[in-house]
Chain A
């Protein structure tokens, strides 16, 4: 077993592009879930809005890539209104049900044969990221950074842009939550009725929070799409939202540093477990007392099983994660 390689991959995942796009999605989700108490289970759909905003520039509209941000914003607002209008006046779990449904429908629509002309069907869309590539100051063939934090030229470029966005939005959210607006949404999380009795329009604040979080989620989808150079419908399945949620809870809900460090830890743990299990089952199935416990092909499901288990244990025994405070995680929702 190559321990050094596993550890290198693990460290490298701390600052990799996956952690960056998860951090963006988690910052968005943190505004909704952490600060406002909205159960948005459709963050993947908001991410898809961003990715398909880019994708559609080449697939359908035939305009420059940067128009994609505008298209993505339009999608995010439409989606936010669609799921927000019926649910934000109701109890918290209605939003969860509707967002999870909406996310599933968004995925089905973009991968359907019916709308292939617009969204590229299940093959997705590939040719849109040239403008972004051309901006890269790094040599695509070169290696940048020092081991183990070493990436190829283009990856390095997306990583830098991704983490810059993370820094930007972290700062924004930090300032936002110190502002009067932030105090109102946190108060909504604690006691909606009290806020309403102060004459605030709770519904409107919740909607703003949902859409602002969605917009940050959109940038997450964009960074992911740019890194892969393609948009694939199945990258935005509903479980993605839950993995982001797990990462967020791990870091600490309602804390800016929780939403950044959580995804980094999440990916480091994931990569470690994945690499470790793959090494373990490389030559023969992992066995205990003669039982074939894990086959090579079962490593994927085992990892995701661990994520699910991790989410359950975190919520039960340490809902505040690493950085959060317990008082801010006392969500009840009724």
Chain B
């Protein structure tokens, strides 16, 4: 996707396609965004050493870096400072070549990939005015780490992934429970969170800590809108669940391509907290950012569980999940409960998208890549069961990461399919689901 429009134009376009959601907020900030004239390339040289499977990164000082245009004429050069970083200003957003001078590397330090002394920067990879490039020195492969440490590291990664999957899939499961809809567009709700976070943080420069609550709230509104504009109407028309499912597939295709239309096909990092140094705790290395998101996820999940267990609304949600007709006849406003579930589901999905965007990067397919893990999770936990999604998503994350010890990385989602199949053969109602008649 060779998208040469400037970021600003793209996001003014978003304004048009997503008017449904908080049109006023969008319009305001879209116009307020200013173009800056200073562009720079931020080059970072890091020496990565691995002891007992723990990667530590140290800045490399005094390396000379030069930037040339794509045709080879010099643009600027500089020498890395104490934090291993050098900022080189460039005249415009354009394609550049960044070269590292190997001779200036300190003795005993080599690039991990010796052939990669040059980084190519595409014109449209300037998401902000400062484009980051990192060169890694030192040895990269973690083969030396003992098996136990690798397992522990994977376990920790798995817990993080599991928490994100659990957060994202709570809504999927609750929506299924209360309305019977298998929502294939739920992945796009996750992506929505990531993209809104990108829009606020990178394009408007709102600090992420302020942007985060906004992202979550807008995610909830997005969920509400999806219900109000589409699925509530379908229920009213008495359209069958299978047809609703197919509609959600159409919605997923439409939204995903809307994102692609706006955002382009590349993945991009958020601005805040994107450069982090991993800290070591025994055999485990984790960045403070990842630790924080994991803790927040955990708190959110516990809060959701407590809410469902203790609060009046939570009990009503579980009642509707259990038997909508019975719940309705006891005086519970089912439509209101369904709206609450869509709002909460959308908000949690957006939060998951935000964390996923911090963890990996933001891209138009980030949610649709997760949906299949979410389905595996809620099936494992019990389709429609309120707590099933929490437990199942969590377990799937751990299993997928642990599996990558034996399965090649590109196939690491494959074990989720086998989990899915085994669960359906052995215990189709899932861990926490209620046994139903199975024909």
Contacts and interface: CB of A to CB of B under 8 A. Distances in A.
B251 to A, nearest CB: 6
B247 A315 contact: yes
Residue of A89, A90, A97 with most chain B CB atoms under a 10 A cut-off: A97
Contacts of A301: 257-258, 260-261
A242 interface: yes
A300 B261 CA distance: 8
A212 interface: no
A307 interface: yes
Interface string A80-102: 00100111011011101110111
Nearest to A98: B420
A332 interface: yes
Contact of B421 (A82, A203, A307, A310): A82
A192 B439 contact: yes
B435 interface: no
B330 to A, nearest CB: 22
Contact of A311 (B13, B247, B256): B247
Contacts of A316: 233-234, 237, 239, 243, 247
B420 A97 contact: yes
Interface string A275-317: 0000000000000000111010110111011011111100110
Contact of B414 (A87, A108, A312): A108
Nearest to B176: A93
Contacts of A325: none
Nearest to A317: B237
Contacts of B425: 85-86
Lowest 3 A-B CB distances belong to which pairs? Answer: A308-B254, A311-B250, A308-B253
Contacts of A202: 439
Contacts of B243: 315-316, 319, 329, 331
A105 B261 contact: no
A84 B376 CA distance: 16
A249 B243 CA distance: 11
B377 to A, nearest CB: 11
A292 B372 contact: no
A54 B252 CA distance: 32
B182 A97 contact: yes
Contact of A293 (B13, B240, B246, B416): B13
A136 interface: no
B257 A305 contact: yes
Contacts of B375: 97, 100-101
Given A101-B376, A101-B417, 9 more contacts: A86-B421, A86-B425, A112-B408, A304-B253, A307-B254, A315-B239, A319-B243, A330-B240, A331-B243
Q: Is the interface on chain A under 10, 10 to 19, 20 to 34, or 35 or more residues?
A: 35 or more
B379 A97 contact: yes
Given A89-B438, A291-B12, A308-B257, A332 B241 contact: yes
Contact of B13 (A90, A292, A309): A292
A302 B258 CA distance: 7
B251 A312 contact: yes
B411 A108 contact: yes
Interface of A: 37, 39, 41, 82, 85-87, 89-90, 92-94, 96-98, 100-102, 104-105, 108-109, 112-114, 192-193, 196, 202-203, 239, 242, 245-246, 249, 291-293, 295, 297-298, 300-302, 304-305, 307-312, 315-316, 319, 329-334
B439 A291 contact: no
Contact of B245 (A39, A104, A193): A39
Given A301-B258, A315-B243, A333-B240, A242 B249 contact: yes
Interface in B220-256: 230, 233-234, 237, 239-243, 245-247, 249-256
Nearest to A330: B240
Contact of A193 (B237, B428, B439): B439
Contacts of B252: 308
Interface string B423-434: 011001000000
B168 to A, nearest CB: 15
B5 interface: yes
Nearest to B1: A297
Residue of A39, A98, A293, A308 with most chain B CB atoms under a 10 A cut-off: A308
B246 A315 contact: yes
Contacts of A92: 242
B170 to A, nearest CB: 17
25 contacts: A82-B421, A86-B420, A86-B422, A86-B425, A90-B438, A93-B245, A98-B421, A104-B372, A105-B413, A109-B411, A113-B408, A192-B439, A202-B439, A203-B439, A242-B253, A249-B246, A291-B16, A293-B13, A295-B4, A297-B4, A304-B256, A312-B251, A315-B243, A316-B234, A333-B240
A293 B180 CA distance: 37
B246 A311 contact: yes
Contact of B253 (A203, A239, A298, A329): A239
B182 A311 contact: no
B2 interface: yes
Given A239-B253, A311-B247, A331-B240, A113 B410 contact: yes
Nearest to A304: B257
A108 B413 contact: yes
A200 B157 CA distance: 49
B31 to A, nearest CB: 12
B3 interface: yes
Contacts of A242: 249-250, 253
A239 B364 CA distance: 15
B9 interface: yes
A202 to B, nearest CB: 7
B252 to A, nearest CB: 7
Contact of A94 (B249, B417, B428): B428
Nearest to A306: B254
A96 B383 CA distance: 14
B414 A105 contact: yes
